[in-house]
Chains A and B, each alone.
Chain A
Amino acid sequence: MASPQEDLRAFQGYFQQRFPDVPLNSFVNGAYAIDAKLRAQWHALMQFPPYSFALDRGKQLFHTAFDNGSSYAGCLANGGVGIKQNYPYFDTKTDKVVTLALAINRCRTENGEQPLPYKTGDMAAILAYMAYTSRGNAIDIKIPQDPAALAAYRAGKEFYYSRHGQLNFSCASCHVQNAGKRLRAETLSPALGPPASFPVYRSKWGGMGTLHRRFSGCLRLIRAEPFPPQSQTYRNLEYFLMYMSNGLPVAGPASRP
């Protein structure tokens, strides 16, 4: 089986060959990077980004102390500023993939606060703010030479390429084999890049959502029962996908159709 580094080279090379006019860093913009008409609409939308309210809320929440006087800054490296490019990472002490959302809730529970739901709301707002402070930073996901880390990466990779649901689709069916094509009214985004833009304001949702919310939505569309957000399955999948976007800039929060 190929190493993660070999996978990364092949993955990014595939999309660069498939869409030769798209600069590598622009892949973080998903369908907007490959569809000129969509891109024009997006530029118009960005005059008043729909995620602005969530961003403001996220900033306020991030800088509000917990009841015990501690804060997110006390839990996270560099005070939680400009760190999103390092998530998720593999925690070799607990043998699990730690996403930024998981780290946020861990911080909350360690300080006597209730954990936040993972798909939307205040969690998405805080992630939006943390993504904003990390904008432009090159994604830098590490896979240590550790059997458990490699196993988590490979589990994510296997999930990505395996067919699921009654419609028998894999993530790759849409975002690799048919990237750039239309599915009803949607242009299918390439697999390279879009995870770097989360959390996103989706017009379809009428609000913000996290990457795991999107995973669940995709699985429902192919008639597979979704997994709980931040389940091991989703965290491994995020680990694989974010690693495949290594080197690309953090671009969240973002807007999507």
Chain B
Amino acid sequence: MYKRTIASLLAALFMLPAMAGAQSTKADYRSAYQAAMAAHEKAVAHQSQWTATNEALASAEQAAHKGDYAEAADLARRARALARQAVKQAEQQDRLWEQAVIR
């Protein structure tokens, strides 16, 4: 019984980092998703949504739903990067579009 108690305690101790890892990945995903949505909303405000951004966000949600938070966080970070590029595109085009006008 004493050995079983020690074994249980050791097993719990070994599991702790894994559980902490899973929790922090979920927190990572949530943080990454919030950042992605913030960037995406800026792109929407600039009328510059990209389909790739929406796809990445949807894929992130699906991965999170399946419990694959590491993948979900990566996808959310990708969505954020795409949304930021979309915003940059819109800001640049505000200045540059007139160069393309037929004169």
Instruction: Show the binding face of A for B, using Cβ within 8 Å.
Output: 1-2, 7, 10-11, 14, 157-158, 161-166, 168, 170, 172, 176-177, 220, 223-225, 227, 233
Instruction: Show the binding face of B for A, using Cβ within 8 Å.
Output: 47-54, 82, 85-86, 89-90, 93, 96-98, 100-103
Of residues B47, B48, B49, B102, which shows the largest number of chain A Cβ atoms within 10 Å of its Cβ? Answer: B102
Separation in Å of the A101 CB from the closest CB of chain B? 21
Of residues A10, A165, A220, A233, which shows the largest number of chain B Cβ atoms within 10 Å of its Cβ? Answer: A165
In the docked arrangement, what's the CA distance between A77 and B53, Å?
Answer: 44
Residue of B nearest to A177 (CB): B100
The answer to whether B51 and A10 touch across the interface, beta carbons within 8 angstroms, is: no
In the docked arrangement, what's the CA distance between A236 and B47, Å?
Answer: 14
The answer to whether A224 and B51 touch across the interface, beta carbons within 8 angstroms, is: yes
Residue of B nearest to A15 (CB): B102
The answer to whether A162 and B97 touch across the interface, beta carbons within 8 angstroms, is: yes
Chain A residues whose CB sits within 8 angstroms of the CB of B103 once the complex forms: 2, 10
The answer to whether A233 and B47 touch across the interface, beta carbons within 8 angstroms, is: yes
19 more CB-based (< 8 A) A-B contacts, given A166-B85, A224-B50, A225-B53: A2-B103, A157-B101, A158-B97, A161-B97, A161-B100, A162-B90, A163-B93, A164-B48, A164-B93, A165-B51, A166-B50, A170-B97, A172-B100, A177-B100, A220-B51, A223-B50, A223-B51, A225-B50, A225-B54
The contact sample of 6 A-B pairs, CB cut-off 8 A, is A7-B102, A162-B90, A164-B48, A166-B50, A166-B85, A224-B49
- Contact among B47, B52, B90 with A223 in the assembled complex (CB-CB below 8 Å): B52
Separation in Å of the B57 CB from the closest CB of chain A? 11
Residue of B nearest to A220 (CB): B51
- Contact among A14, A163, A225 with B89 in the assembled complex (CB-CB below 8 Å): A163
Separation in Å of the B58 CB from the closest CB of chain A? 12
Q: How many A-B residue pairs have CB under 8 A?
A: 55
Chain A residues whose CB sits within 8 angstroms of the CB of B85 once the complex forms: 166
Residue of A nearest to B44 (CB): A225
Chain B residues whose CB sits within 8 angstroms of the CB of A224 once the complex forms: 48-51
Chain B residues whose CB sits within 8 angstroms of the CB of A158 once the complex forms: 97
Separation in Å of the B47 CB from the closest CB of chain A? 6
In the docked arrangement, what's the CA distance between A177 and B101, Å?
Answer: 10
In the docked arrangement, what's the CA distance between A1 and B97, Å?
Answer: 12
Separation in Å of the A51 CB from the closest CB of chain B? 29
Chain A residues whose CB sits within 8 angstroms of the CB of B97 once the complex forms: 158, 161-163, 170
Q: Given A158-B97, A161-B97, A170-B97, do A11 and B102 touch, yes or no (CB 8 Å)?
A: yes
Chain B residues whose CB sits within 8 angstroms of the CB of A11 once the complex forms: 102
Chain B residues whose CB sits within 8 angstroms of the CB of A14 once the complex forms: 102
Chain B residues whose CB sits within 8 angstroms of the CB of A223 once the complex forms: 50-52
The answer to whether A166 and B98 touch across the interface, beta carbons within 8 angstroms, is: no
Separation in Å of the A221 CB from the closest CB of chain B? 10
- Contact among B50, B96, B100 with A165 in the assembled complex (CB-CB below 8 Å): B50
Separation in Å of the A29 CB from the closest CB of chain B? 21
In the docked arrangement, what's the CA distance between A69 and B60, Å?
Answer: 52
The answer to whether B52 and A166 touch across the interface, beta carbons within 8 angstroms, is: yes
Separation in Å of the A13 CB from the closest CB of chain B? 8
Separation in Å of the A120 CB from the closest CB of chain B? 21
Residue of A nearest to B101 (CB): A161
In the docked arrangement, what's the CA distance between A1 and B101, Å?
Answer: 10
In the docked arrangement, what's the CA distance between A196 and B78, Å?
Answer: 41
